[in-house]
Structure 1
Amino acid sequence: METDKKVSPAMLRRVVIASVLGNALEWFDFAIFGLFAVIIARLFFPADSEFASMLLTLATFGVGFAVRPLGGVVLGLYGDRVGRKKALSLTILLMAVGTGLMGVLPTYAAIGIAAPILMVLARLIQGFSTGGEFSGATTMLIEFAPRRLRGLFGSFQMCSQALAFSCGALAAYLLTSRLTPESLDAWGWRIPFLFGIVIGPVGWVIRTHLDESPEFQAYARNRPRGARPGIRSSLADLFGNHPREILSSMGVCIVGTVSAYVFVFFMPIFAKKQMGLPIADVNLATFFATAVLLVCCPLSGYLSDRYGRRAVLLSGIVAYGIAAYVLFAHFVQAPSYESFLLAQVVIALCMSFFWGPTPIIMTEVFPVGLRSTGASITYNVAVLLFGGLAPLYNTWLVEATGSDMAPIYYVMVSVAFGLAGALALPAACVRPAGRIAAA
């Protein structure tokens, strides 16, 4: 269902800020958790071996993803029933609680077994809230955006991820290069997490002063008085009438989420622990790579408006698959700051060409009344199965196989899913936005 209701430039700017802010907070936290994983492992998950300690930390990183599908269904249905605005206001408060809790938790040395238990609880709160954050914020954003520029506006969500990664990597670089190891362990690593306590309430205030999405308002007006879709009927409609949309968009999400969790989260850990690169150099290279994502995602989103989603997706995924294999192998054979920087930057450039169109694809394939729920389920299931546990899978694969090349085969599997998903997208994702609007 489309609407021609005009949106003021001021409200559009406010929606962009509100939608991007919560998503940036979510990914900023994830970035710093990965970048400080070595310290968190030592302080919260002491074990008989360093490998076991790291596995416990990465499992805690992944446990939040176990509740993301639940959060996605609950918050997605809530957004489809009562509106995008109320759902987004709730998610950012939950997110701030989980992030802030991590920043103030006492360590294992102070409170014993309660420390890792509380860390897991904080991850569960974050996981539930982020289950509805990305899809809900993206839905709000594209429903306000001009029809012919929805790919561009949707890409702002991926810019927020890249910006969060860049800020996280820069914060980690500054802290690890300026503080002594003792100060870093004692209090330095907490600083980025405490940022969530500040940004959460600010985001809530901004979101509560938004208008409701024009498309959702039109949908709600046309709905029979007093009728709201029930959970059972909504899920039956979604899975019964839109299986192609679910599977194709999930394939696109799989290649995107694996690229993020392997090359933004796992690779810095791999470079530090397995290849022996200095932690400050690794963080600096990650900052440059995520800056490339930040700059290039809007370009790919705009290109998807002009030439169609599938054309941009396919070219990006193919280039990414080739670059990832060649440059990862080069880094493993000749580990150095230069080879790591080259791999991260070039792979990030290729990633941006399927990251940019992903948010609009996730949402425009579903009708308005199922959009938030459909996007939440496909996104969170893909992230749960293939993304959130990627650092854990790959750490274990390297240890179990004894091969430093093991992670790249995991990436190649995700590329196959991404290509299959892109090829199976409905016709609306093939035509440029101008032709869709005219159709």
Structure 2
Amino acid sequence: MQDSHSGPSIDPRARRRAIVSSVIGNGLEWFDFGIFSSFSLIISRLMFPPQDGVAMSLVAFASFGIAFIVRPVGGVLLGMYADRAGRKAALSAIILMMSGGTLLIGLTPSYASIGIAASVLIVGARMLQGFSAGGEFASATAMLLEYSPAGRRNLIGSFQACSQALSFALGGAVAYLLLHSLEPAALHSWGWRLPFLFGALIGPIGYYIRLRVDESPEFSALLTHRRSVRHERLSLASIVGRYPRELLGTLGIVAVCTTSSYVGLIYIPLFASGQLGLDAGAGQLGMLAGALVLLVTCPLTGMLADRFGRRRVMVPAMIAYGVLVWPLLGALVNTPSTANLIRFELVSAALMSFFWGPSAAALAEAFPVQIRSTGMAIVYNLGALCFGGLAPLINAWLTRMTGDRLAPAWYIAVSVVIGTVGVLAMTQPEAQSHEAQQHV
């Protein structure tokens, strides 16, 4: 589903500024959201009533996943706001909300100090982060794609994946440094708060960066059209009724991308340190290794998709990922070691990059500009809830109930099937490009 539409004429400097600000702002946003995963076990011990080891892991994964429950609500509301007020206005508000939630996590006293109020504040902060994150992907991706030149939308869209990978890498690096630089008592007392306070402080920087960016040219053209012609304002129900294939197809793509992220990059390192006996620092090294591979390879796969088409790039990699996850995870479970964990992350990330890189453009091109943020917000956050945010909790529960430590491989395999169907549904012959998007 390549795009041959050239779109409005764009000043190259404005394009570079928009791309850089979207990538940096998006990376800061996901750093704030993602660092919770690195310290979720510590936070759960400090902020919730005492539990035994396995139960504490479930509490940690639940506190991580609570943000995903509110993400669809935040995504739809902020997506509709972005489709009416503009990408710039939405992105500026989103990063301030994320910073507020991050600051609250960093400043909340422990359960030992204020009792159940600590648990309530942490849950509230995670919900604020989730509400904010719900609108981030859709609005940032819309901005990126609407500034992209013809024939390079997969490449430019891949920077969205790069910014998320960068946030994972930064989070993993910060966690690893703290784990190896501080004594356990210091880490549990105040050290874990440092990345949250840092993340809250850099939020205003992202806000400033986003304020300096012009509104996307496609949305500006839409606003001009709205002023001159009476237009139909689509409701959420009418969007669902009018674009069912687009919603279901892109939901499949989101399913495999979020599963690979939250199971492969987040859950497996925590599983290795919490259940397989590896050092906590090994888990952070694994996450860092995988994130760095994604950071380097996603632009390459975006270029390949621009040249050869998304089907040829995404589908073989998905199938290979679904097959190879079994021996990779089996080796880690049977012989737990830092080397096997890093090997799992490196191979997984290399394969993930082939469907991560082109995914943002695939989602954005599925919807016309006037509902682009809303449409993407629906599928991305619903998929992230069902297959991503709750995946660590579901996999921990499945492993505990079945006793099968390869349960995550089953989970990933199911997502691969769903994702493959989604790609086949949404990628059309290359001659059919932007035409469908012009219909409202």
**Residue 145 of structure 2 is aligned to residue 142 of structure 1:** yes
Superposed displacement of residue 283, structure 1: 1.3
**Residue 26 of structure 2 is aligned to residue 23 of structure 1:** yes
Q: Supply the AA of the counterpart residue of 2:77.
A: V
Which residue of the partner structure matches residue 305 of structure 1? 306
Aligned residues: 433
* Maintained 8 Å contact 2:256/2:418: yes
Superposed displacement of residue 98, structure 1: 0.8
- Residues 187 and 41 of structure 1, relative CA distance in 2, 3 Å threshold: same
Which residue of the partner structure matches residue 44 of structure 2? 41
* Maintained 8 Å contact 2:256/2:419: yes
Which residue of the partner structure matches residue 340 of structure 1? 341
Q: Supply the AA of the counterpart residue of 2:47.
A: F
What pairs with 1:408-427 in structure 2 (closer than 5 Å)? Answer: 408-427=409-428
Superposed displacement of residue 225, structure 1: 4.0
* Maintained 8 Å contact 1:23/1:137: yes
- Residues 57 and 413 of structure 1, relative CA distance in 2, 3 Å threshold: same
Superposed displacement of residue 57, structure 1: 2.2
- Indicate which of 65, 73, 93 corresponds to 2:76: 73
What pairs with 1:6-405 in structure 2 (closer than 5 Å)? Answer: 6-225=9-228, 227=230, 229-230=232-233, 233-405=234-406
* Maintained 8 Å contact 2:32/2:98: no
Residue by residue over 1:236-290, the C-alpha shift from the partner in whole angstroms, topping out at 9 and shown as x without a partner, is 4422221111111100000000110001111111000111011122212221111
Q: Supply the AA of the counterpart residue of 2:425.
A: A
Question: Bigger CA drift: 221-230 or 208-217?
Answer: 221-230
Question: Bigger CA drift: 5-14 or 151-160?
Answer: 5-14
Residue by residue over 1:272-319, the C-alpha shift from the partner in whole angstroms, topping out at 9 and shown as x without a partner, is 011101112221222111100100011111111111122211022112
With structure 1 as the length reference, what TM-score do the two structures score? 0.95
Measured in 2, the distance between the counterparts of 1:327 and 1:416 equals 19
Measured in 1, the distance between the counterparts of 2:201 and 2:230 equals 39
Unmatched tracts of structure 2, length 5 or more: none
Q: Supply the AA of the counterpart residue of 1:340.
A: L
* Maintained 8 Å contact 2:144/2:157: yes
* Maintained 8 Å contact 1:155/1:357: yes
Superposed displacement of residue 50, structure 1: 2.1
Which residue of the partner structure matches residue 431 of structure 1? 430
Superposed displacement of residue 55, structure 1: 1.5
With structure 2 as the length reference, what TM-score do the two structures score? 0.94
Superposed displacement of residue 229, structure 1: 5.0
Measured in 2, the distance between the counterparts of 1:32 and 1:52 equals 21
* Maintained 8 Å contact 1:64/1:124: yes
* Maintained 8 Å contact 2:25/2:210: no
Measured in 2, the distance between the counterparts of 1:48 and 1:72 equals 33
* Maintained 8 Å contact 1:3/1:214: no
- Residues 226 and 57 of structure 1, relative CA distance in 2, 3 Å threshold: farther
Q: Supply the AA of the counterpart residue of 1:147.
A: A
Measured in 2, the distance between the counterparts of 1:220 and 1:298 equals 31
The percent of aligned pairs where both chains have the same amino acid is: 48
Paired residue secondary structure (2:190): helix
Measured in 1, the distance between the counterparts of 2:250 and 2:133 equals 19
Paired residue secondary structure (2:426): coil
* Maintained 8 Å contact 1:31/1:169: no
Unmatched tracts of structure 1, length 5 or more: none
* Maintained 8 Å contact 1:35/1:268: no
RMSD: 1.9
Superposed displacement of residue 13, structure 1: 2.1
Q: Supply the AA of the counterpart residue of 1:244.
A: R
Measured in 2, the distance between the counterparts of 1:320 and 1:285 equals 17
Measured in 2, the distance between the counterparts of 1:301 and 1:330 equals 31
